[in-house]
Each structure stands twice: as C-alpha cells, then as structure tokens.
Amino acid sequence: MPPEAAISVRRPSYGRQELKGVRMKICVIGLGYVGLPTAAMFAANGHYVVGVDVCDRILKALGRGETFICEPGLGEAVRWAVSEGRLIAREDPEPADAYIICVPTPINPDHSADLSYIERAVRSILPCVRKGNMVILESTSPPGTTRDLVCGILGGSGLTPGTDLYVAYCPERVLPGRILTELVHNSRVIGGINSESAIKARTLYSCFVRGEMYITDSVTAEMCKLVENTYRDVNIALAAELAMICEKLGINAWEVIRYANKHPRVNLHQPGPGVGGHCIAVDPWFIVQKQPETARMIGLARRINDSMPRYVLERIKALLKNISGGRKVCVLGVTYKPDVDDTRESPVIRLISMLKAEGGYSVVAVDRHADYEGSRGRDLYEAVKGCHLLLLAVNHREFERVDFARIRERMAYPCVLDTRNFWRAEEVEAAGLSYHLLGWGKQSDEEGPDGGVPVPAARGFGGAEDR
Ligand SMILES: NC(=O)c1ccc[n+]([C@@H]2O[C@H](COP(=O)([O-])OP(=O)(O)OC[C@H]3O[C@@H](n4cnc5c(N)ncnc54)[C@H](O)[C@@H]3O)[C@@H](O)[C@H]2O)c1
C-alpha cells in the first residue's frame, strides 16, 4: 500500500470506476519542490511515473529511493514509489501518455522571465510525443507562455497542439512544509489551450486532487497564478509604506494594522525588511514585463518591497551614528521567511551585502536553518559578543525566547532593532537594552541608546497580551 500521506480519496465525480484500469505513463520533467511531490502523488494514486531531471545528484538519490527535499511525508512516498517500480529516475524523457513540466522560471537581471528552462524541457520531449498525448506546464510563467512558447515548440514535432496534442497550464499553489497535503486539498485552476485539453488535464489530476478544479483557458490560468502572489506583494508593500509613515507620525504601525484588521473586510499584511522567495518577489515582474505601461501599481509595489533592505540599513546607520570606529551587527535569520531553510531572493542577505558595502560595518549572522557565511553553526550568545546592534531579521521560532540579559552582557552597545514585531519592548528593555521596532516611531530612535530618556511614542493602551 502507498504511504497514507500520498494517497488521496478520489473525488466522487471522477470516482474509482472512471480511473480503474486507466493506468497512465506520466513523464514529470523537473524534480524539484513541485515536480518530485507531484511525481510521487501520481505514482501513489495509480500511475506509472518517469521522473526526469538534468541534475545527476537528484537522479542518483531518486534511484536509491531518496530525496533531498525536506517535506513531511515525501521521503516515505518516494521510497515506496521507487521500491514498487512506480517511479523511476531518467536523464531524458521517454515516450509517455502525459508530460508534466515543472522546471524553474527565474528572473533575469532586467526583471524579465527567464524561459530558457521551459524551452529546453519542451524541446526534450519533442522526440517522444505522439498523437493523443497530453502536455502540461506547471512552471509559473508570463501570460501566453503555454499558448505561444510551449505550443510553438510542440508544433516542431509535426503534431498540432489542440488537435493532436492536449496542452494545458496547471499551476501549483503549494506551501513548502505542507506540499503533499496541499497538493491534495488545494483548489486548482486548470487552463487549456482549448476546452478538450482542460477537461483531459482535470481528469488526470482528479486521481489525487480533492479540492475544486476550475477550468479556464491557459492565459487566464497563467494570470491567476501571477495575480495570487501579486496580491500579496502589493499588500505587503502597503504594510511597508504604512510602517514608514507611522515611524514619521510617531505611532506603531503594527498596532494600526492589528486594529484595522478587526474590520471584517480588511486584511492588511505585515511589514518587514523586504520580500523574498522565488514566488512573491518574482511573479509580479512577469505581469510588469507583459504590460509595463499599465502595471503601474504592481511595479511600484515591487520597488517598495525591494527598497526595504535599504530602509532598514538607514535605520541601522541612524541608530549607530554615535559609535566611532567599526560597528558590528549581529543578524538573526537569513532566510526569506521563518522556519524554512530557503534563502532564495532573501532580502536579509541583500541587507547584509549592503551593510558590508557601506564600509565600517562587520556582520555576523545566526541561522540554524540555512548556512550563510557560517550562520548555521553559530551560537547566538557567542555571535553577539562585541556587537553594537542586534537585528531580528527573521522570526524563526527559536528566536522567540532568548535570554536578553545574557545578550546585554556580551554586547558592546545595547541596541536592538526588531523588524518583525517579535519581541516585547518591556522584556528587552528590562535587560538594559534599547528596543527599536520597524514601523514604530520613537524620537529616541534618532539618538540611539545613549540619546536620553526614550520618548514614549504613541502605542495605544493595549496590554502586552494584545500584541
Ligand atoms: N516551490 C514552490 O513552492 C512553488 C510553488 C508554486 C509554483 N512554483 C513554480 O514551479 C516551478 C518549479 O519550481 P520548483 O520550486 O520545483 O523549482 P526547483 O528549482 O526546486 O526544481 C526544478 C528542477 O528542474 C530541473 N530542471 C531544470 N531544467 C530541466 C530540464 N531541461 N529537464 C529536466 N529537469 C530540469 C532542475 O534541475 C530542478 O531539479 C517554478 O516555475 C516555480 O516558480 C514553485
């Protein structure tokens, strides 16, 4: 029996009867965070899967039934599928009934989408495709990629997409840490180049998807995927702008956001030192690339979020302006979000580079999840020795409870800047440290810890439990 985490109870409308005996051969191209779990799910739910990747290390591991991706249930699902002969690793695609493309779509330095991985992946299946096959793109892509790029290349096989080949775009919405669960339970948007393609793709996914599946055209589906992340990026940019405004007004943006969100139809996100990861910090650019004149707010939000590391840098400089000689900053967290090991597009890493480029600053980073210049093996209390500022950059769970008195003893200058509203000002200040919060304007922030009695900035009357 396949492991429980990977088995899905099939949707009643596409019940077992419909799929019984329809065991297909599926070629999944690109075995990363999206491709490998998808391959494992198809294998666990009745199909025979060929996993293709250009990375030898991934193929060798898969051949042994192992994976480098740390994801609940995935190791077990892969081990089972490989041991049962349901999932095999291959360097090149093989003739199959369906091809699912899950390769990366990074951005170029000019913020345009790098579609070269998709191009290569589609070309690699040209010798294999046969009449009646299905080709599905899962990679996040600019609107029109499936219809124009994928179908354009597939035409080189001598088969006509839409008539001889079913072609669809089926994006993922999975959250790292919950990928297998979300593959099953999330709703999906399925966009075909024609309705037959969309219906065929929906039937394929129905072997494990329990969420709703909405059928549309491929360009709409591509845009949906981009808009989901763009919505969050714009919302975070609004929170970041609010943080900067509230600092100037001498009030606490976190409190403003918390109370504004009590409105039943308001859902403001949280500010921070920037936006990272390979989705939210990237996908909005794909819309801007297509419509640079019209996508004004989307482009502005991207630029606001991209400016946050510089903004935090300026706050650090203001807080340490009274220090003569070298300044040492201890940075807690380097990943793009809490409790993960992913540093892709991390704004904290950008901030560290800016600090170093500034001259006169040295940085020591602590992060047991990710290794950035020795951050993984570093002890927090060793790292803060001789530091002038402690920067809480990522709210990893392990930073929630720290011994501020021990930190104070070791620091050369008692200054803390919290960019995540993670610590309680009273607790930090009780240890003799000066607490500063991104988005909270205190006059004393201009002065640094020795600048006199902190001016009690407006922070409402909420008790500690209200934070
Ligand atoms: N990771 C997520 O949570 C997530 C969520 C939604 C959408 N996406 C999108 O899905 C796509 C894949 O993302 P990912 O996180 O799985 O990327 P990834 O980098 O983890 O994996 C991609 C894999 O594709 C392989 N590859 C590259 N070119 C290839 C080729 N020509 N043939 C075969 N294999 C090839 C790489 O070696 C790599 O193993 C991206 O477009 C991404 O934006 C990712």
Alpha-carbon distances, residue 399 vs 116, 333, 366, 392, 394 (angstroms): 40, 9, 10, 8, 9
Average pLDDT, the chain: 92
Q: Is the pLDDT of residue 18 over 50?
A: no
By three-state DSSP, how is residue 42 classified?
helix
Q: Identify which of 304, 153, 142 has the alpha carbon closest to the alpha carbon of residue 223.
A: 142
- For ligand 1, what atom is nearest to the CA of residue 69? 20
d(CA 296, CA 165): 37
33 and 85 housed in the same domain? yes
Residues 379 and 333 in one domain: yes
Strands (E), 141-185: 166-169
Q: Which of 198, 219, 240 is the last residue of a domain?
A: 219
Per the listing, tokens 């219906």 go with 199
pLDDT attached to residue 447: 53
Answer yes or no: is the C-beta of 311 below 6 A from any ligand 1 atom: no
Q: Is 71 in the pocket of ligand 1 (CB under 6 A)?
A: no
DSSP assigned state of 397: G
Nearest 10 degrees: Cα torsion 276, 281, 283, 287: 180
Asked whether residue 233 is domain-assigned, the answer is no
Could you tell me if residue 237 is inside a domain?
A: no
295 shares a domain with 161: no
Cα–Cα dist 286/281, whole Å: 11
Q: Are 299 and 445 members of one domain?
A: yes
279 is catalytic: yes
Q: Are 132 and 100 in contact (CB under 8 A)?
A: no
Mean pLDDT along residues 216-226: 98
In a domain, 406, yes or no: yes
Same domain? 157 vs 254: no
> If you write DSSP's letter for every residue of 248-283 in order, what string do you get?
HHTSBHHHHHHHHTTSTT-------S---TTTTTTH
Distance between Cα 35 and ligand 1 center (Å): 7
Instruction: Say yes or no: 206 and 278 in one domain.
Output: no
For range 380-399, the mean pLDDT: 98
50 plus 126 within the same structural domain:
yes
pLDDT score at 177: 84
Q: Are residues 189 and 260 in the same domain?
A: no
pLDDT at 464: 37
Task: Identify whether 227 is part of a domain.
Answer: no
CATH label of the domain that carries residue 333: 3.40.50.720
Of 2-6, 252-256, 282-286, 461-465, which range is least confident? 461-465
Residue 224 counted as domain residue:
no
Q: From atom 20 of ligand 1, which residue's Cα is the shortest distance away?
A: 32
399 within a domain of the structure (yes/no)? yes
Mean pLDDT of 401-429: 98
Testing ligand 1's pocket by substitution, the residue of 102, 179, 280 carrying the most ligand atoms inside 8 A of its CB is 102
Do 215 and 256 reside in the same domain of the chain?
A: no
Domain count, the chain: 2
* Position 360 in a domain: yes
Atom of ligand 1 nearest to the CA of 141: 41
pLDDT at 463: 40
Q: 61 lies in a domain?
A: yes
Asked if residue 278 has its Cβ within 6 Å of ligand 1, the reply is yes
What pLDDT, on a 0 to 100 scale, did the predictor assign at position 5?
67
For 13, which DSSP code? G
Report the range of poorest mean pLDDT among 151-155, 193-197, 434-438, 445-449.
445-449
For residue 324 the two structure tokens come to 């003569």
Best substitution site from 28, 29, 33 to test ligand 1's pocket, by max atoms within 8 Å of Cβ?
33
Asked if residue 142 has its Cβ within 6 Å of ligand 1, the reply is no
Of 219, 241, 271, which residue is a domain's last? 219
Pocket of ligand 1 contains residue 32 by CB under 6 Å: yes
- Bridge partners (DSSP) listed for residue 34: none
Please identify which of the residues 27, 207, 225, 442 carries the catalytic annotation.
225
**Same domain assignment for residues 10 and 70:** yes
Which listed residue (102, 170, 246, 279) is catalytic?
Answer: 279
Among residues 173, 201, 219, the one where a domain terminates is 219
Give residue 106 CA to ligand 1 midpoint distance, Å: 9
Pair (328, 460) in one structural domain: yes
CA of 139 to the centre of ligand 1 (A): 7
Report pLDDT digits (tens) over 348-370.
Answer: 999 999 999 999 999 999 999 99
71 and 164 in a single domain? The answer is yes
Distance (angstroms) between ligand 1 centre and the Cα of 34 equals 6
CA distance 346 to 220: 29
173 alpha carbon – ligand 1 mean position (Å): 13
For ligand 1, the distance from its centroid to the CA atom of residue 105, given in whole angstroms, is 7
- For the cut 80, the answer to whether the pLDDT of residue 433 exceeds it is yes
Place of tokens 């899967």: 49
Name the residue at shortest CA distance from atom 33 of ligand 1: 53
Q: Is 225 a catalytic residue?
A: yes
Could you list the residue range(s) of the whole structural domain that residue 278 is in? 250-466
- Beta strands at 134-137 and 98-101: parallel, antiparallel or unpaired: parallel
Distance (Å, whole) CA 214 – CA 190: 6
Q: In what order do the strands lie in the sheet with 25-29?
A: 87-90, 48-52, 25-29, 98-101, 134-137, 166-169, 188-192, 213-217
Strand order in the sheet with 389-392: 361-366, 327-332, 389-392, 415-418, 434-437
**Residue 332: band (very low, low, confident or very high) from pLDDT cuts 50, 70, 90:** very high
Look up the pTM and report it. Answer: 0.89
